[in-house]
Chain A
Amino acid sequence: MNALVLSAIFGVVMMFSGVFFKRNAPIKTTGIIAMLLLLIANCMEMKGIKLFRFDVSAFMSFTDYALFFNALAIFATLVYLLVASGEMEKIGKNLADYFALIFFIIAGITITTSFTSLLSLFLGIEIISIPLYILTGADKKNLKSNEAALKYFLMGSFSTGILLMGIALIYGSQGTFAIDKMNFITDAKSNPNLHIAGMLFLLFAMSFKASVAPFHFWTPDVYDGAPTVFTSFMATIVKAAVFVGFVRLFGGAFAAMEKTWSVWIAVMIAATLFVGNITAVFQQSVKRMLAYSSISQAGFLLFSVYAMNSAAREGLLIYSAAYCLATIGIFAVLSKMDDYSFEGFNGLAKRQPVLAFTGTICLLSLAGIPLTAGFLGKFYMLKAAIITGQNLWLVIFAVIMAAVSAYYYFRVIQAMYFKDGPAPSAPATSIEKYTLIFICILIVLLGIFPNVFLNWLYF
């Protein structure tokens, strides 16, 4: 609750800060400080200190798990702002607006992770989506950015329609929006088709938002067209939050129908991993490769919905943390490059050793090499899937796809370290460098001592 109210207030504050401050530096500082306050407020709520006492129990319930994820998302956003706000200035004149939109997205995330009513799920998803449409088109003079925004908006509105349709069908079947009051036991008289159709519509709509195949077609174009800094935000924190909502919806509302949807999810995992990884192999641009890689990572994240046990819920947190940190890091490196093709990275290790080294750690984490957080994320997801004891072919398929993913991540490492070239790039400022090193330290620490991280959950 703290984070929800404060992030909405801070969003408005940031909007007006553009009027008061003429220069960019104070806007950035205000934004970062506000984000820090937001993190503190959220942690206070984790400790039981509530700043606002409205009764929203019909719409939202701020469980420990949701609060923990919110803390994670806000922390990741803070890191993201530290490393990316310099690049944000270069996109356009409206820096204050970008910050405001990011705060609104955080508000949406807090709703999505803690909804108890399908209506608040819808609200949360929309509060996330609409600012994202704007951020995608933030680079107004760039044709690709405009194209991406339009595509994203059209496809996104369509999926919102499907989401609403699903909610309506479920309501028609159950007579309630509350996910804990749903009861899908069918007797001879009632017709299960209504809520099965509703469940499938919700599944498709959520899959669209999480860019799960076969609803992923918008992802590469939008991620490629959007300004790199915003791609980084979209592909990480937002996507992880959607997955938390996904798990909450299917573990909460549709738990009784697990037999019906788990097959669908299994097939979608396989399709997502296959499409994401195989297409990423053939990309020539690192940015587009990362877009496809984010699809393939969504395949792994989807294991948390599929397995739906405690290992999966822990795994979702670790995987989100690992994936967000590593992807924010690698996008920060990417945003410094002049040439986004693989050849553009040739020789970066000689030109900018810090960027190359931190980028390498992030890529190793994305590939799931032990001692990095990414390995533990994958480890937890596979463990969760194996514990369910069925569809083991899916697990074996997933590890083979993980090996394929090593192929394209290592292509970047090869270009940076083993090939010679000019690597045209802008020098990183010292704050960016330190934040990147900080990200790498976090990745490695999380990879060696995940206990410390998970113990916070079980306080």
Chain B
Amino acid sequence: MIALLLILIPLLGGIITFFIKKEEGARTWSLLAAIATFIVAILGFTICNSAESLTYKAPWMGLLNSSFSIAADGMGAMLCMLTAISFPIIFVSTWNTRYSNAKNFLGLMLLTQAGLMGVFLAMDALLFYFFWELALIPVYFICSQWGGEKRIKVTFKFFIYTFVGSLLMLVGILYIYSKTNSFDITAFYNAQLPFDQQMWVFWLFFLAFAIKMPIFPFHTWQPDAYQQSPTAATMVLSGIMVKMGLLGLLRWLLPVLPVASYSWGDTVSTMAVIGIIYASLVALQQNDMKRLVAYSSIAHIGLMCLAVFTENKSAVQGTMLQMFSHGINILGMWVIVEIIERKFGTTKMSELGGIAKKAPALTIFFFIIALANIALPLTNAFIGEFLMFNGILGVDPNISKYGIPFAVLAGIGIVILGAVYTLKMARSVFLGETNSLTESGTDIAFHEKAILGIIAVTIIVAGIYPHHLLHSFEDITNSILNKSDVLHLLKTKH
């Protein structure tokens, strides 16, 4: 029931929002709907987290052996939690941003939330595909209507890219379905396709996930889309939507096609490492804060993808934790970029400077988030990245022989170059002398302090005491690794 509510509240809330005439009313209503979802999520995942309340199954397309089956396992719950936290924060932080026709904007945002929740909860391949597309359509409309100058072209590129990916995934789903005759996730886990079929079906799925994450060389839609979209949509895209790809890898790829994931592991890891280095180098050259954050996000996602394919517990646990942490951190980053853009009308780093003198509170929050972005100890990202690097270095030589070079190269990109570009941004935007543009700057308002405060507290608490979070997805990690354990399979064969 809880699981169903998590989809229904934003869905109905969103539909109702379209019919609220007054802008203030629509804003209040959408915020209330988002907060209601948040409360349901909190209650569901802490107090009444019995198995019955977290699963829901209803007959849907009987002829096709597909059912409306949703369930919140550890990973799904964590991502739903991330979604539930993010939307109220997004609504509050963009409270003062003016949109023409705000009710449609907010309605579409809530529909996106419903779609995302569905993706994270779906336990039926066809349902998963439905939600996968449903999360995309509202975002397409948001970005095309309320984005920047080049919005139509850029969003369209994003849409076509992801649409191609998801259609290929549909072929993959149908192919496995033609063998299992059921869309249920357990049937998919038991499909056990022969080796040669796994090898190419893998790419049908992986392309969809790689485009969504995005992994080099399928990332070209991303920086433009992040830059041109309205910031609220960018927060959704970068904070939550990219996690769809990672969830896809962990839930729908590794356990379903274990042999292919093992065989293609080094290929994919190489793509991820190239992406990390490349994105970090490009991030160094950026002058626009939005593009810098976008490229930094590509690098971080690349690391998570790399860690997933090492298939050991430390790395997968780290990935799951980092999925949550990255969502929070990049959300905070975008909140600050949005505040700066609203105050000064630009996000060009060369035109800004010395904001620290005018807005000390904003600066403090920025530094906490920036340090989390570099994964300094005591921040949430440190734990995640530590576990991931630990896992990559300690990868079983039977799975990959290149654990150490991968870890070193990823380390250069994420840890060293990451620190360079993040601190460079900090210096040129916040430190130094004020100029004519930033001269008139003021500090942030109370509600902005409050949300940045929540983000900062989350960063530090998760950095000091990650035990609860890690524990919550330990079961699912074990079960994923168990199902994708190829080495065991190979041993029993010989």
Complex CA gap A68/B180 in Å reads 30
The answer, yes or no, to whether A197 is at the interface (CB within 8 Å) is no
Q: Contacts A369-B137, A370-B133, A386-B174 known; A403 to B167 CB distance under 8 Å? A: yes
Q: Contacts A371-B130, A406-B160, A418-B152 known; A399 to B144 CB distance under 8 Å? A: no
Complex CA gap A219/B275 in Å reads 47
Complex CA gap A410/B152 in Å reads 11
Q: Smallest CB-CB separation from A418: which chain B residue?
A: B144
Residue from A382, A387, A410 in contact with B156 in the complex, judged by beta carbons closer than 8 Å: A410
Q: Find out whether the CB atom of B164 lies under 8 angstroms from the CB atom of A454.
A: no
Q: Smallest CB-CB separation from A368: which chain B residue?
A: B167
* B59-84 CB contacts (< 8 Å) to partner A: 61-63
Q: Find out whether the CB atom of A396 lies under 8 angstroms from the CB atom of B144.
A: no
* B111-169 CB contacts (< 8 Å) to partner A: 129-130, 133-134, 137, 141, 144-145, 151-152, 156, 159-160, 163-164, 167-168
Q: Encode A134-152 as 1/0 by CB contact (under 8 A) with B.
A: 0000000000000000000
The answer, yes or no, to whether A430 is at the interface (CB within 8 Å) is no
Complex CA gap A383/B61 in Å reads 14
Residue from B62, B133, B168 in contact with A451 in the complex, judged by beta carbons closer than 8 Å: B62
Q: Find out whether the CB atom of B167 lies under 8 angstroms from the CB atom of A370.
A: no
The answer, yes or no, to whether B454 is at the interface (CB within 8 Å) is no
Q: How far is the CB of A414 from chain B (nearest CB, A)?
A: 6
The answer, yes or no, to whether A389 is at the interface (CB within 8 Å) is yes
Q: Find out whether the CB atom of A399 lies under 8 angstroms from the CB atom of B170.
A: yes
Of A379, A396, A399, most B-chain CB atoms within 10 Å: A399
Q: Find out whether the CB atom of A370 lies under 8 angstroms from the CB atom of B129.
A: yes
* A380-429 CB contacts (< 8 Å) to partner B: 382-383, 386-387, 389, 392, 395-396, 399-400, 402-403, 406-407, 410, 414, 417-419
The answer, yes or no, to whether B19 is at the interface (CB within 8 Å) is no
Complex CA gap A370/B132 in Å reads 9
Q: Find out whether the CB atom of B168 lies under 8 angstroms from the CB atom of A399.
A: yes
Q: Find out whether the CB atom of A370 lies under 8 angstroms from the CB atom of B134.
A: yes
Q: How far is the CB of B104 from chain A (nearest CB, A)?
A: 10
The answer, yes or no, to whether B461 is at the interface (CB within 8 Å) is no
The answer, yes or no, to whether A175 is at the interface (CB within 8 Å) is no
The answer, yes or no, to whether A214 is at the interface (CB within 8 Å) is no
Q: Find out whether the CB atom of A382 lies under 8 angstroms from the CB atom of B163.
A: no
Q: Contacts A399-B168, A410-B159 known; A370 to B130 CB distance under 8 Å? A: yes
| Residue count of chain B within 8 Å CB distance of chain A | 27
The answer, yes or no, to whether A192 is at the interface (CB within 8 Å) is no
Q: Find out whether the CB atom of A414 lies under 8 angstroms from the CB atom of B174.
A: no
Main secondary structure of the interface of A (DSSP, over half): helix
Q: Find out whether the CB atom of B61 lies under 8 angstroms from the CB atom of A386.
A: no
Q: Find out whether the CB atom of A403 lies under 8 angstroms from the CB atom of B164.
A: yes
Q: Contacts A386-B178, A414-B156 known; A402 to B130 CB distance under 8 Å? A: no
The answer, yes or no, to whether A450 is at the interface (CB within 8 Å) is yes
Complex CA gap A402/B168 in Å reads 11
Q: Please, which residues of chain B bring their CB within 8 A of the CB of A395?
A: 171, 174
Q: Find out whether the CB atom of B164 lies under 8 angstroms from the CB atom of A371.
A: no
Q: How far is the CB of A335 from chain B (nearest CB, A)?
A: 26
Residue from A371, A399, A454 in contact with B167 in the complex, judged by beta carbons closer than 8 Å: A399
Q: How far is the CB of B422 from chain A (nearest CB, A)?
A: 35
The answer, yes or no, to whether B175 is at the interface (CB within 8 Å) is yes
The answer, yes or no, to whether B177 is at the interface (CB within 8 Å) is yes
Q: Find out whether the CB atom of A382 lies under 8 angstroms from the CB atom of B160.
A: no
Q: Find out whether the CB atom of A414 lies under 8 angstroms from the CB atom of B163.
A: no
* B170-203 CB contacts (< 8 Å) to partner A: 170-171, 174-175, 177-178
Complex CA gap A387/B204 in Å reads 17
Q: Contacts A370-B130, A400-B164, A450-B61 known; A386 to B175 CB distance under 8 Å? A: yes
Q: Please, which residues of chain B bring their CB within 8 A of the CB of A370?
A: 129-130, 133-134
Q: Please, which residues of chain A bring their CB within 8 A of the CB of B152?
A: 414, 418-419
Q: Contacts A369-B133, A383-B177 known; A418 to B145 CB distance under 8 Å? A: yes
Q: Contacts A386-B178, A387-B178, A417-B145 known; A379 to B170 CB distance under 8 Å? A: yes
Q: How far is the CB of B265 from chain A (nearest CB, A)?
A: 24
Q: Find out whether the CB atom of B129 lies under 8 angstroms from the CB atom of A383.
A: no
Q: Find out whether the CB atom of A403 lies under 8 angstroms from the CB atom of B145.
A: no
Q: Find out whether the CB atom of B168 lies under 8 angstroms from the CB atom of A396.
A: yes
Q: Please, which residues of chain A bring their CB within 8 A of the CB of B168?
A: 396, 399
Complex CA gap A371/B171 in Å reads 18
Residue from B133, B163, B177 in contact with A403 in the complex, judged by beta carbons closer than 8 Å: B163
Q: Please, which residues of chain A bring their CB within 8 A of the CB of B156?
A: 407, 410, 414
Q: Please, which residues of chain B bring their CB within 8 A of the CB of A387?
A: 178
Q: Find out whether the CB atom of B160 lies under 8 angstroms from the CB atom of A383.
A: no
Q: Encode A154-198 as 1/0 by CB contact (under 8 A) with B.
A: 000000000000000000000000000000000000000000000
Complex CA gap A406/B140 in Å reads 13
Complex CA gap A406/B177 in Å reads 25
Q: Smallest CB-CB separation from B201: which chain A residue?
A: A392
Complex CA gap A322/B164 in Å reads 22
Q: Encode B233-274 as 1/0 by CB contact (under 8 A) with A.
A: 000000000000000000000000000000000000000000
Q: Contacts A369-B137, A403-B167, A418-B145 known; A383 to B130 CB distance under 8 Å? A: no
Q: How far is the CB of A387 from chain B (nearest CB, A)?
A: 5
Q: Find out whether the CB atom of B63 lies under 8 angstroms from the CB atom of A451.
A: yes
Complex CA gap A400/B163 in Å reads 9
Q: Smallest CB-CB separation from A401: which chain B residue?
A: B167
Residue from A364, A371, A382, A454 in contact with B63 in the complex, judged by beta carbons closer than 8 Å: A454
Q: Find out whether the CB atom of B144 lies under 8 angstroms from the CB atom of A417.
A: yes
Beyond the given pairs A386-B174, A403-B163, 16 more chain A to chain B contacts, judged by CB atoms under 8 angstroms and listed by A's residue number, are: A369-B133, A370-B133, A371-B130, A379-B170, A379-B174, A389-B178, A395-B171, A396-B168, A400-B164, A402-B167, A406-B160, A410-B159, A418-B151, A418-B152, A450-B63, A451-B61
A–B Cβ pairs within 8 angstroms, 13 of them: A370-B130, A371-B133, A379-B174, A387-B178, A402-B167, A406-B159, A406-B160, A406-B163, A414-B144, A414-B152, A414-B156, A417-B145, A418-B152
Binding site for A on B (CB under 8 A): 61-63, 129-130, 133-134, 137, 141, 144-145, 151-152, 156, 159-160, 163-164, 167-168, 170-171, 174-175, 177-178, 204
Binding site for B on A (CB under 8 A): 364, 369-371, 379, 382-383, 386-387, 389, 392, 395-396, 399-400, 402-403, 406-407, 410, 414, 417-419, 450-451, 454
Nearest 6 pairs of A and B residues by beta carbon = A399-B167, A403-B164, A370-B133, A370-B130, A418-B144, A386-B178
